[in-house]
Structure 1
Amino acid sequence: MNFETLDKPDSILTLFRNHGFTETQISVLIRKLPLVLVLDLDKTLLPKIEIFQSKGVSTEDIIKILSAAPGVFRRSLENQIIPTYNFFKALLKTEEKTIVVIKRFAGILLYDDLHIYIEPNIEALREIGVPKSNIVVLFTKKPQAFTAIADRFKKIVKEVKKMGFNPTTMMFGAAIHALMAMSKSTWEKKVEVYKKWSLSEDEILVAFGKNPRFMMVSEDNIMGIMNFFVNKMGWESSIVVRRPVLASLSLEKRIIPRCLVCEILLLKGLIKKDFGLDWFLESPESYFLKNFVKKYEEEAPEPLKLYQEKLNLSK
């Protein structure tokens, strides 16, 4: 690599250090974009940092964005970065939401033609009746989904509508994201795994309709969770059709530790057998600790200790 001056790379390294980059972060950035060492410091590099500073982005988040998408340094500030930023702000209406999107998927700043990559997908949702407020929420949460090839995106939107999802609900967007995240063959493999546990295709679609995350679980995790519910807990496999969120919970970090706590509380007679194990598993961590662990700390100190040990082992 030829440098214009011997001290140019050093001045660029100093620039990054002065703006909060660690040596490791600088090293990673250079490996991703070696060209950064020969770009103009004042005309090309510094303005890209300053534009984010002017929007109120923290130093930590600027580093995160530029480390995730160093290609930003190669793009024109006037012709690419600023127009792209303004496009998203016009859609999302606030600076805060725009920054959230960029932090979640910094690579979205690198798309040259938003009229080809993003606008058609937004329009596909509008045409089918998705409210603008829902589009904003979906875009904020899953911006990468909107960079899909327009034909595939539109096909999935129609497929989700055909499945019976209501375009005016947030579940419609969740279903789009779920289908975007996997190929047709992956979907079929997961269906086959659920079928091994005696679930029909209709039941699988019912569960997916209640909670699209039901089909975002890996095949191995589906097997592990179904095996635990059916063979360890003695439940009917249809439990995940009635309560599909159960299939998306972590077996090691949530299901096993909580079931062990439940077993101790049942043996000590502190809870009744019909108290509702599904809610026991689904409840937020703070609620679970307060109402099922710390509540019985004097009568049964073992659950808290056991629960903490299991969580530490699963980290």
Structure 2
Amino acid sequence: MMQLRNRFLPLLRAASTLHSPIHPRACRRLLSTSTTLPTAFSLEDYLVAACGLAQTQVREASKKVSREVSRKASRELELSYSRLNSASNSDAILSLLSGASLSRADIAVVVSADPLLLRASVKNIAPRLLALRDRVGLSTPQIARFLLVGSRALREGDVLVVTKRNAAFLRAGLEREVLLRAEELGVPPTSRMFRLAVSVIANNSKEKVAAKLEFFKRTLGCCESEVSTAVSNKPTILELSDEVLLRKIEFLVNEAAVEARDIVERPVLPTYSLEKRLVPRHYVMKVLQEK
């Protein structure tokens, strides 16, 4: 605990004056100056040189940033976005992650999943990382795994509020076996559904999940790969009871004439309420077609 604290606190005190604390060679190249004006900061280049992302990951990360910026327009976003367009803040964030014993490969996965973490305020994130260790009781490997599924909570909210009430559940959900089981379902850590998959897996036994997968194969007449694709697109379908799922599937197939393959390709359908959404919409469409 003291070792982790000793790593974070100097960074916290010096956050306003940090300049390229890690990967200095990459940062010097990115921030090289001419005889007049400094070279413009390139987020894409930084993600490759300092964070170790591949080009495919960089393209996806850039899309996530663009979506976030287009969705929100506020003074706070402008400030955080300006942090994302300079190396100093991003370097400080990488130093904090490195101080939490994350390897370069771990950092690449975390940043790829949530590139907006680089825009976060260092003064806010440092004490939250400490809180995960001191108040929630996560080990260093668990902190690294937490960042794969909870980096948004780290950068946007008070981790104490978000996690303390369910600390035991959180620790269980971050066990390596749970993360591996989520990946085995076809949900990689970089997927936006990874957080949901981990939550579902942590709350259900391996036997229960296997039984649910078998239920889908038997009921919809699909193969294992098709079920995996459906689950990776909508992990919460594993939490629905067999009785509820059977009623919805029977209605969709027998009444609404939906092909079983269409249900597999659109796994969100079984998650809709039968009485409040599926049935009413079906009969509205039926009346419109008749007219």
- Interval containing the TM-score (normalised by the shorter chain): 0.3 to 0.5
Which structure has the larger Rg?
Answer: 1
Higher relative contact order (CA 8 A, sep 6+): 2
Name the TM-score, length of structure 1 as normaliser.
0.43
